[in-house]
Amino acid sequence: MASAPFRPFDDLLDRDAALRRLRDAVAGADDGELFLERRRGEVLGFDDGRLKTASFDASEGFGLRAVKGETAGYAHSTTIDEPALARAVATARLAVGSGGGTLAAPPPRTNRRLYGDEDPIEGAAFALKVETLREIDTFARALDPRVVQVSASLAASLQEVAILRPEGDLVTDIRPMSRLNVSVIVEENGRREAGGHGSGGRHGLTGLIDRATWESTTREALRIALVNLRAEAAPAGVMDVVLGPGWPGILLHEAIGHGLEGDFNRKGTSAFAGLMGQQVAARGVTVLDDGTIPDRRGSITVDDEGTPSNRTVLIEDGILVGYMQDRQNARLMGVTPTGNGRRESFAHIPMPRMTNTYMLAGDADPASMVASLKDGIYAVGFGGGQVDITSGKFVFSCTEAYRVRNGQVQEPVKGATLIGDGATALRQIRAIGNDLSLDPGIGNCGKAGQWVPVGVGQPSLLIGGLTVGGAAA
């Protein structure tokens, strides 16, 4: 049975009384809001031929914020009632002090909906979810006798938020999310390798538990595992690299995207600080952050301050033209908020965060880009990485990559890492493919201890002179 809609001002708080409390908190401040949230989530994990984990969690609470200048007072509670709200007001007021601020203009309103409000948890019976995972396990093992282990998981959640603004506006959003992941381990002649694949987005589970979907996901996980089974040690050195489309955009997200968030640039800690209007990338490079794409994992109808999401151009034809902004940093920098104020939950303060960050397509043929490599790497899958925001330096590990010699894709390589810095990599882009694609809906982004769902994407890219870490040649 589906749960009742989240109506905090009908069931838990008097709206007029809550508004008076909020206005008390932000009197003399520049900004602030009351953010209320209810979240439910379910994760089922199938491993070693059996259902190994089945978890359900539910939470609700509020966060109250008052902002003055660069200072923010924030208090949150898992109890939604007037006494808890009164205590939060006293805490938030500490940031405001003697006041003197001028309350910022409210965000614009919107009636846009980027996703349905279907409850992914209630949309499919528990027994059907378990049976789907069991079928995935059986199917994967039947595909190839070298399969020795299969792990599959289904995750679903529903986040309901209500944001009360000091001017009296109430902004609400219902955010579904679902995800399927399959991992396969294969063994041959004593060597074991793994491959994984997944998909998801802001929609119910129905499409993910469709047989055609999970069969395709499972086949892809097995394909990657078998590629890795015959992979040789990666070379080391400086070489040209072609990045595949879609998920390799995670390198763009980490090495460049974080450096284009407003707070890092306002504080001067980003490698891109002070470069607005200057050429920071090769001509033809256009990078956007777009939270308005329907049903995408990183999309949001409104951000967590109540601002409608936006399609923000960050780099246009190689020129830096914009940053991603929440309300506080936008005000301090004298620009308009872009709808990128995001938080992990009611227990966290909002900050500028990415939504779906991607590079637009060019006109190069991807096959010709690979054919142009005399001795290089073709990288189509990435795992984890590390980035220093101040310097822009990054290290990323490849989960699927190939050696290219004289324009021919040859043996897969294992253990390859790409090393460089975002600003230099942008300038060394030599060709941009005509094959833009977005990731399959599996991304999460961490910043200051907070995690939010995101999307990435790019066309194939030819980048000259990247350092490849691997085994010595």
Q: Domain for residue 215, yes or no?
A: yes
Last residue of a domain, one of 210, 229, 248: 229
Last residue of a domain, one of 180, 214, 229: 229
Angle at alpha carbon of residue 196, lines to 362 and 47, rounded to 5°: 160
List 408's β-bridge partners, or say none: 405
pLDDT of residue 86: 98
Interstrand relation of 232-233 and 408-414 (parallel, antiparallel or unpaired): parallel
Looking at the structure, tell me whether residues 184 and 278 fall in a common domain.
no
**Can you list the alpha helix ranges (DSSP code H) found in 300-342?**
327-333
pLDDT of residue 473: 43
Looking at the structure, tell me whether residues 340 and 391 fall in a common domain.
yes
Ranges of residues in the chain whose predicted pLDDT is under 50: 1, 472-473
Q: Domain for residue 175, yes or no?
A: yes
Q: Domain for residue 411, yes or no?
A: yes
Cα 177 to chain centroid distance, Å, stands at 12
Domain range for 301: 233-469
Which residue type does 273 have?
A: A
H or E element, residue 315: strand 311-316
pLDDT digits (tens, 9 = 90+) for 115-162: 987 899 998 999 999 999 999 999 999 999 999 999 999 999 999 999
Q: What is the 3-state secondary structure (H, E, C) of 60-125?
A: EEEEEEEEECCEEEEEEECCCCHHHHHHHHHHHHHHHCCCCCCCCCCCCCCCCCCCCCCCCCCCCC
List 149's β-bridge partners, or say none: 185
Looking at the structure, tell me whether residues 171 and 304 fall in a common domain.
no
Q: Domain for residue 166, yes or no?
A: yes
User: What is the number of other CB atoms lying within 10 angstroms of the CB of residue 276?
Assistant: 15
Q: Domain for residue 180, yes or no?
A: yes
Last residue of a domain, one of 183, 198, 229: 229
Residue in the structure block whose two tokens are 């609470």: 61
Looking at the structure, tell me whether residues 136 and 266 fall in a common domain.
no
Looking at the structure, tell me whether residues 313 and 399 fall in a common domain.
yes
Looking at the structure, tell me whether residues 431 and 309 fall in a common domain.
yes
Looking at the structure, tell me whether residues 111 and 51 fall in a common domain.
yes
pLDDT of residue 471: 64
Looking at the structure, tell me whether residues 21 and 147 fall in a common domain.
yes
Looking at the structure, tell me whether residues 285 and 162 fall in a common domain.
no
> Measuring CA to CA, which residue among 154, 105, 78 is closest to residue 336?
105
Number of domains making up the chain: 2
Q: Domain for residue 267, yes or no?
A: yes
- Whole-angstrom distance, CA of residue 24 vs CA of residue 19: 9
Q: Domain for residue 113, yes or no?
A: yes
Provide the CATH number for the domain around residue 135: 3.30.2290.10
Structure tokens at 132: 């789907």
Q: Domain for residue 264, yes or no?
A: yes
In contact, 114 and 174? CB cutoff 8 Å? no
Looking at the structure, tell me whether residues 301 and 223 fall in a common domain.
no
Burial (Cβ within 10 Å: 0-12, 13-18, ≥19) of residue 47: middle
Contact residues for 303 (Cβ-Cβ < 8 A; gap 6+): 291, 309, 326, 339, 340, 341, 342, 350
Looking at the structure, tell me whether residues 211 and 290 fall in a common domain.
no
Looking at the structure, tell me whether residues 177 and 248 fall in a common domain.
no
Which residue type does 366 have?
A: P
Collapse the DSSP code of 137 into the 3-class scheme (helix H, G, I; strand E, B; otherwise coil) and give the result: helix
